[in-house]
A and B are shown apart, each in its own frame.
Chain A
Amino acid sequence: MFETLILMLDATMRVSTPLIFAALAGLYSERAGIVDIGLEGKILGSAFAAAAGAAVFGSAWIGLCFGIATSVALAMIHGFACITHRGDHIVSGVAINTIVAGLTVTLSMNWFGMGGQTPTLSGDSRFLSVTLPFADALADVPVIGLIYSELLSGHNILVYLGFAMVPLTYWVVYKTRFGLRLRAVGENPHAVDTAGISVAFIRYRALIVCGILCGLAGAYLSTAHNAGFLKDMSAGKGYMALAALIFGKWRPVPVLFACLLFGFLDAVAIRMQGVVIPGIGEVPVQAIEVLPYVLTVLLLAGFIGKAIGPKAVGRPYVKERA
Chain B
Amino acid sequence: MSQAKVPAWVNIALIPFLNIMLAFIVSGLVILAIGEDPIEAAGYLIYGAFGYNEGIGYTLYYATNLIFTGLAVSVAFKGGLFNIGGEGQAYIGGLGVGLVCLALDHTMPFYIIAPLAILGAAAFGAAWGYIPAYLQARRGSHIVITTIMFNFIASSLMVYLIVNWLKEDGRMAPNSRTFGENAWMPYIHEFFAPLGIDIGDSPLNFAFVLALVCCVLVWGLLWHTRWGYQLRTLGTNPTAAKYAGIDTAKVTIWAMLISGGLAGFVGINEIMGVNHSLLLNFTAGYGFAGIAVSLMGRNHPIGIILAAILFGALYQGGSELAFEIPTITPEIVVAIQGLVILFSGALEHMFKDRIEGFFIRRAVA
> How many angstroms from the CA of A300 to the CA of B150 in the assembled complex?
13
Q: Does B338 contact A (CB under 8 A)?
A: yes
A85-B349, A290-B157 known; A300-B135 Cβ under 8 A: yes
A87-B349 in contact (CB<8A):
yes
Residue of A nearest to B131 (CB): A297
A85-B350, A297-B141 known; A96-B327 Cβ under 8 A: no
> How many angstroms from the CA of A261 to the CA of B292 in the assembled complex?
35
A96-B153 in contact (CB<8A):
no
How many B residues touch A, CB cutoff 8 Å? 47
Stretch in contact with the other chain, from B7-15, B213-221, B340-348? B340-348
A95 partner, pick from B145, B160, B332, B342, beta carbons under 8 A: B342
Q: Does B331 contact A (CB under 8 A)?
A: yes
Interface residues of B in 133-180 (CB under 8 A from A): 135, 139-142, 144-146, 148-150, 152-153, 156-157, 159-160, 164
Cβ-Cβ contact count across A and B, 8 Å cutoff = 148
> How many angstroms from the CA of A82 to the CA of B347 in the assembled complex?
8
A98-B135 in contact (CB<8A):
no
Interface residues of B in 300-356 (CB under 8 A from A): 327-329, 331-339, 341-342, 345-350
A87-B345, A102-B332, A102-B337 known; A302-B148 Cβ under 8 A: no
> How many angstroms from the CA of A236 to the CA of B336 in the assembled complex?
21
Q: Does B47 contact A (CB under 8 A)?
A: no
A87-B348, A102-B333, A106-B332 known; A286-B149 Cβ under 8 A: no
B341-A94 in contact (CB<8A):
yes
* Residues on A with beta carbons closer than 8 Å to the beta carbon of B30: 103, 106
> How many angstroms from the CA of A218 to the CA of B145 in the assembled complex?
22
> How many angstroms from the CA of A92 to the CA of B149 in the assembled complex?
19
B135-A94 in contact (CB<8A):
no
Question: Taking the nearest CB of chain B, how far is it from the CB of A234, in angstroms?
Answer: 13
A86-B349, A106-B34, A110-B34 known; A98-B327 Cβ under 8 A: no
Question: Taking the nearest CB of chain A, how far is it from the CB of B193, in angstroms?
Answer: 37
Most chain B CB neighbours (cut-off 10 Å) among A37, A99, A290, A309? A99
B156-A286 in contact (CB<8A):
yes
A94-B288, A103-B335 known; A297-B150 Cβ under 8 A: yes
Interface residues of A in 68-120 (CB under 8 A from B): 77, 80-82, 85-88, 90-92, 94-103, 105-107, 109-110, 116
B146-A300 in contact (CB<8A):
yes
B329 partner, pick from A37, A116, A242, beta carbons under 8 A: A116
B345 partner, pick from A92, A246, A289, beta carbons under 8 A: A92
How many A residues touch B, CB cutoff 8 Å? 48
Interface string of A266-309 (1 = CB under 8 A from B): 00000000000000000010110110011011001110000101
A286-B156, A286-B159, A302-B141 known; A91-B346 Cβ under 8 A: yes
A106 partner, pick from B328, B339, B349, B350, beta carbons under 8 A: B328
* Residues on A with beta carbons closer than 8 Å to the beta carbon of B50: none
A290-B152 in contact (CB<8A):
yes
Q: Does B82 contact A (CB under 8 A)?
A: yes
> How many angstroms from the CA of A287 to the CA of B337 in the assembled complex?
33
> How many angstroms from the CA of A88 to the CA of B144 in the assembled complex?
12
Q: Does A146 contact B (CB under 8 A)?
A: no
Question: Taking the nearest CB of chain B, how far is it from the CB of A247, in angstroms?
Answer: 11
> How many angstroms from the CA of A290 to the CA of B152 in the assembled complex?
7
> How many angstroms from the CA of A100 to the CA of B152 in the assembled complex?
20
Question: Taking the nearest CB of chain B, how far is it from the CB of A302, in angstroms?
Answer: 5
* Residues on B with beta carbons closer than 8 Å to the beta carbon of A37: 84, 144, 148
A90-B84, A105-B331, A286-B156 known; A296-B149 Cβ under 8 A: yes
> How many angstroms from the CA of A107 to the CA of B144 in the assembled complex?
30
> How many angstroms from the CA of A35 to the CA of B142 in the assembled complex?
12
> How many angstroms from the CA of A90 to the CA of B288 in the assembled complex?
12
Q: Does A239 contact B (CB under 8 A)?
A: yes
Interface string of B56-85 (1 = CB under 8 A from A): 000000000000000000000000001010
B160-A286 in contact (CB<8A):
yes
> How many angstroms from the CA of A99 to the CA of B346 in the assembled complex?
13
A101-B334 in contact (CB<8A):
yes
Q: Does A13 contact B (CB under 8 A)?
A: no
> How many angstroms from the CA of A200 to the CA of B313 in the assembled complex?
39
A106-B335, A302-B140 known; A91-B157 Cβ under 8 A: no
Q: Does B295 contact A (CB under 8 A)?
A: yes
* Residues on A with beta carbons closer than 8 Å to the beta carbon of B327: 109-110
> How many angstroms from the CA of A37 to the CA of B149 in the assembled complex?
12
Interface string of B18-47 (1 = CB under 8 A from A): 000000000000100011000000000000
Extra contacts, 12 of them, besides A92-B342, A290-B153 (Cβ < 8 A), are A85-B350, A86-B349, A91-B341, A92-B345, A99-B335, A105-B334, A106-B331, A106-B335, A110-B327, A297-B141, A300-B142, A307-B141
Which residues of B approach A to under 8 Å, CB–CB? 30, 34-35, 82, 84, 135, 139-142, 144-146, 148-150, 152-153, 156-157, 159-160, 164, 288, 291-292, 295, 327-329, 331-339, 341-342, 345-350
Instruction: Supply 9 A–B pairs (Cβ within 8 Å), ascending by A.
Output: A85-B347, A94-B291, A95-B338, A106-B329, A106-B331, A109-B327, A290-B157, A293-B150, A300-B141
